[in-house]
Structure 1
């Protein structure tokens, strides 16, 4: 046992890079060199975070998230950490293996101290450098309305509605007599806030020949200092990447470098319950099970010799540990529909589009104040306050867009067989909503 411990200690000393130091003989006794700026000549929008060590040139962020609404800035090419393969899970409670991860399995890495528990952490963004853009005049024509729907369009929409309902007859839509059309056009305000958030956590994967880089370039960059290419505007997206200068090579904690672990299926016995007789040793019509010869067990097909390939290191005996940065872009939406003074269900407007009246897109938009419908102005102010208070402390607000749509809504009054009825036609798609369709049948689905 003592020989095994000495062998393991020697192996650890020969591994090379541990967190916080670099095992390079020619650098022993020399101070670590600060990381050089990989992007000279690029201005920063945000200053270095307080955690940036003095004397070390910081990683540089892009000048603007979206210069001229079309960013071509891309992230630099980092040394690969084998992200094409999924990260291997660490030894969990109850798993069978030689030992649990040692206390120094993760870190410390300068600037990332205190995250050895592998739990993800969201980071507050740098101080905002943007202020709301100039107010854009909103449409002031309070009399502007969508023309009332025509009889032909109303009849076609109602007929299509009946055809799409298996229990509705089409006679009312074909034989009805129109009496009155009443318009209840209303407005919908929408605010879109495109945000970026960053989270980091420890990851581990089987060793693939990748060289450790802890300490090679000085202090690793902080998460918000790493340039990242932005996706399309107002589209949800996610990107994961290793933080440069945080990868190291360790002995696999699941197998202690052996490359094999005790089989979890047979618990190291090499035998499992017979799948044919379920461990009884007998099968119907036979004196004894022909598969297990009456023993009730058979050889484990998962392992050979009670051992299986270690899942943590894929049999390599070593793993690569690194800090992974996860960048998440999300389009957050605030919507408000003005009162239309009818018995129509407002939630149905979510399924249709309207006529665009107004669009304003800036880094930060200004609240509306001159729109004729005062409830829309108030919704604009409430939405922007809500989004700023919700996202400014946890995310970077990259862009905002606010729009106003005029939503068509017409109530059609008609008679069929001399009885009065009504239905709504709404949205540019001419969708139909009614609660009293006059001709229904009882359908039984077999």
Structure 2
């Protein structure tokens, strides 16, 4: 697992500053020093901007391996067998007459970021410590969070120390219970068997309500009120500022255009042969790669990521890779006609738009 070095701590964002502090909603929440802009529903902390860095080009070794005839045929047969409406005859009896390679490159840039936001929150009071105003609360970026696993999304929530206070529940006004909506607080409802008359057909007394014409409300058990779901009957709430830390892997891909006829969207489902991998705090754009469009894409994406994400979060790590994705266009004949299918990726995925032996069926 990758970890941040000590040298990166100098980039910790400062505490957010707000030109005009906003008051907490409905007067329920206090204004905490350093958290004047925090509201119920969330508020984002202001962040820093990191400088872009220049790079040195890596050396690359290219190994162009194509799909073989046997590989292509086996992949095609497996693909056909997975389709309930496809006859296996073309895959078995078709004759491969041509195989063309359209290998392409995929450049991928991942920027792993950490963002922090705060919002007022609450929970039923069960004797938790109340520490508001005991001392200045720490800033959002001063609180330690769990060590992240790089390039894996995650989230952590925590109470900000010295922001917790006790308040009467705003939902039940400190009563701990709320009127039952099902019976309008009466605790009973009209008997559905006798429609409130107390008698059934023939003048017999209704056994369901014992002749009362009404029955206890099943939702509040005849009490006319229900436990408040906000304070869970405790009458009091612990109100505090909640810090949410999010780790996000932001990923962008660039695939070099190829003329095989295979849709580029298909390539998102497969992997290729990894030619280059570079992972560090801030990566340098790739230079000197044989395909100039990859170099251009790397320069553009690295600049975009470092500019975009340094304004909204803290960059923890970046990773860039270049893959060679094998694409083979297979032309075959069956019953005197010519057809085409594609085999692509390390997974030997198959795509075809003109399979010659299909039937119509429906799944019930």
TM-score interval, normalised by the smaller of the two chains = 0.7 to 0.9
Alignment partner for residue 94 of structure 2, among 154, 171, 176?
176
Alignment partner for residue 238 of structure 1, among 145, 155, 163?
155
Gapped runs of 5+ residues in structure 1?
1-40, 53-100
For the 8 Å contact 2:48–2:311, the answer to whether it is kept is no
For the 8 Å contact 1:309–1:315, the answer to whether it is kept is yes
Alignment partner for residue 201 of structure 1, among 119, 142, 147?
119
Are 2:265 and 1:265 equivalent residues in the alignment?
A: no
Alignment partner for residue 316 of structure 1, among 234, 252, 263?
234
1: distance between equivalents of 2:362 and 2:203? 51
Measured after TM superposition, the shift of residue 147 of structure 1 is 2.7
Measured after TM superposition, the shift of residue 219 of structure 1 is 0.9
Higher relative contact order (CA 8 A, sep 6+): 2
Runs (4+) of structure 1 exceeding 6 A deviation are 277-288
Q: In the superposition, relative to structure 1, how do residues 392 and 51 fare at CA in structure 2: closer, same or farther (>3 Å)? A: closer
Q: In the superposition, relative to structure 1, how do residues 370 and 219 fare at CA in structure 2: closer, same or farther (>3 Å)? A: same
Q: In the superposition, relative to structure 1, how do residues 385 and 284 fare at CA in structure 2: closer, same or farther (>3 Å)? A: farther
2: distance between equivalents of 1:277 and 1:389? 73
Partner of 2:279: 361
Partner of 1:407: 325
2: distance between equivalents of 1:280 and 1:340? 81
Partner of 1:149: 67
2: distance between equivalents of 1:250 and 1:440? 69
For the 8 Å contact 1:246–1:322, the answer to whether it is kept is yes
Partner of 1:105: 28
Q: In the superposition, relative to structure 1, how do residues 290 and 154 fare at CA in structure 2: closer, same or farther (>3 Å)? A: same
| More strand as a share of residues | 2
2: distance between equivalents of 1:183 and 1:374? 20
Partner of 1:71: none
Alignment partner for residue 250 of structure 1, among 162, 167, 172?
167
How many pairs align? 352
Alignment partner for residue 120 of structure 1, among 36, 42, 61?
42
Measured after TM superposition, the shift of residue 242 of structure 1 is 0.2
Measured after TM superposition, the shift of residue 363 of structure 1 is 0.8
For the 8 Å contact 2:103–2:326, the answer to whether it is kept is yes
Measured after TM superposition, the shift of residue 273 of structure 1 is 4.8
2: distance between equivalents of 1:231 and 1:259? 40
2: distance between equivalents of 1:239 and 1:46? 21
Measured after TM superposition, the shift of residue 127 of structure 1 is 4.5
1: distance between equivalents of 2:130 and 2:112? 36
1: distance between equivalents of 2:136 and 2:13? 13
- With normalisation by structure 2, the TM-score equals 0.87
For the 8 Å contact 2:130–2:165, the answer to whether it is kept is yes
1: distance between equivalents of 2:195 and 2:297? 67
For the 8 Å contact 2:16–2:45, the answer to whether it is kept is no
- Deviates most, 157-166 or 254-263: 254-263
Q: Secondary structure at the match of 1:321?
A: strand
Alignment partner for residue 161 of structure 1, among 50, 56, 79?
79
For the 8 Å contact 2:172–2:178, the answer to whether it is kept is yes
Q: In the superposition, relative to structure 1, how do residues 50 and 409 fare at CA in structure 2: closer, same or farther (>3 Å)? A: closer
1: distance between equivalents of 2:315 and 2:190? 58
For residues 294-443 of structure 1, the aligned pairs below 5 Å read 297-303=214-220, 304-443=222-361
Measured after TM superposition, the shift of residue 240 of structure 1 is 0.3
Gapped runs of 5+ residues in structure 2?
1-5, 18-23
For the 8 Å contact 2:16–2:46, the answer to whether it is kept is no
- With normalisation by structure 1, the TM-score equals 0.72
For the 8 Å contact 1:136–1:360, the answer to whether it is kept is no
